[in-house]
Amino acid sequence: MQDSLAPLTLDGHYLLHEMFRVRRGEWRKLLEERRRGLAEAAAGLLAKMEKRPDGASCAVAILGQKADLMLIHFRPTLEDLHQAQQDFAGLELRDYLEPAGSYVSVVELGLYEMTLKIYSELEGKGLQPNTPDFDKALAEEMARQRERMKGRLTGAIPPRPYVCFYPMNKKRGEIKNWYAEGVRRRSEMMREHGVIGRRYGEQVSQIISGSIGFDDWEWGVDLFADDPIVFKKLVYEMRFDEASSWYGEFGPFLVGLQFSASELGRLLEGQTPALHS
């Protein structure tokens, strides 16, 4: 097993995070009836997207000026994801929203420990990586893993009211370089990292997505909780573990309130939407 071995991953549904700011001045100029009509049309589309059985969407009201609204779309293919983006862009409401950022990624289950186990087993049987026999055995094992974890690959949206989203990288510095660490060392650090995560397991649901090759950071992290202070506690505590203290690089953080499509009108009319539960 090479030191530079990349971990195996299971990749599931594609994700698009879309952020928007409301053009309040323009919106306010519309007659109330017109506003209601545009909001209802948007809520109707969003309600359909919420209920999709295979890859749904959800809406989040964002705190602060970075965005007013964030949509997270999960879809089985990039074409479906593009069509979701097009459908929302096709709403008349969109003339009153301005783009405030987006993120393209794919649900990713990292299998560090499994990688070591599978490679050890296959190499124990005398198979060499990048040979047809090895690749076939590996593909069979990955198919088993995919079947076992399929429930976590489609990004079912956790029904919790608070949402935190941020992208991250593993550092490639001139001294500290995640990608130059050996696969066993990386696996140990990820295990330690996972221990903290599991301690918060009941309080936070997380969806990790990979974006290497798709967007500007390497991963996206979505956290869902019933109490927002848990976001701070979890991320702060993790910052002291080795995988994060030396190797974690964190992008902009967004925090907000998940709400259901039927609350979109209230948000646009200046109310805080009822929390999703």
Min dist CB 203 to a copy of itself, Å, is 13
Min dist CB 159 to a copy of itself, Å, is 17
Among candidate residues 98, 13, 91, the one with its CA nearest the CA of residue 56: 13
Min dist CB 215 to a copy of itself, Å, is 6
Among candidate residues 110, 239, 248, 247, the one with its CA nearest the CA of residue 180: 247
Structure token digits, residue 180: 């130059």
Catalytic residue of the set 14, 166, 200, 247: 166
**Are the CB atoms for 224 and 235 separated by under 8 Å?**
no
Scanning the chain, the segments in alpha helix (DSSP H) are 24-29, 32-50, 78-89, 112-124, 132-148, 183-199, 229-239, 242-245, 264-268
First to last CA, the chain: 46
Min dist CB 265 to a copy of itself, Å, is 13
166 is catalytic: yes
Structure token digits, residue 47: 């309600």
DSSP 150: G
Min dist CB 187 to a copy of itself, Å, is 13
Which contacts qualify for 123-132: CB closer than 8 Å, 24 or more apart? 123/1, 129/1, 129/2
Among candidate residues 149, 161, 135, 140, the one with its CA nearest the CA of residue 107: 149
Nearer to a copy of itself, 102 or 262 (CB): 102
**Are the CB atoms for 192 and 242 separated by under 8 Å?**
yes
Residues classed as catalytic? 166
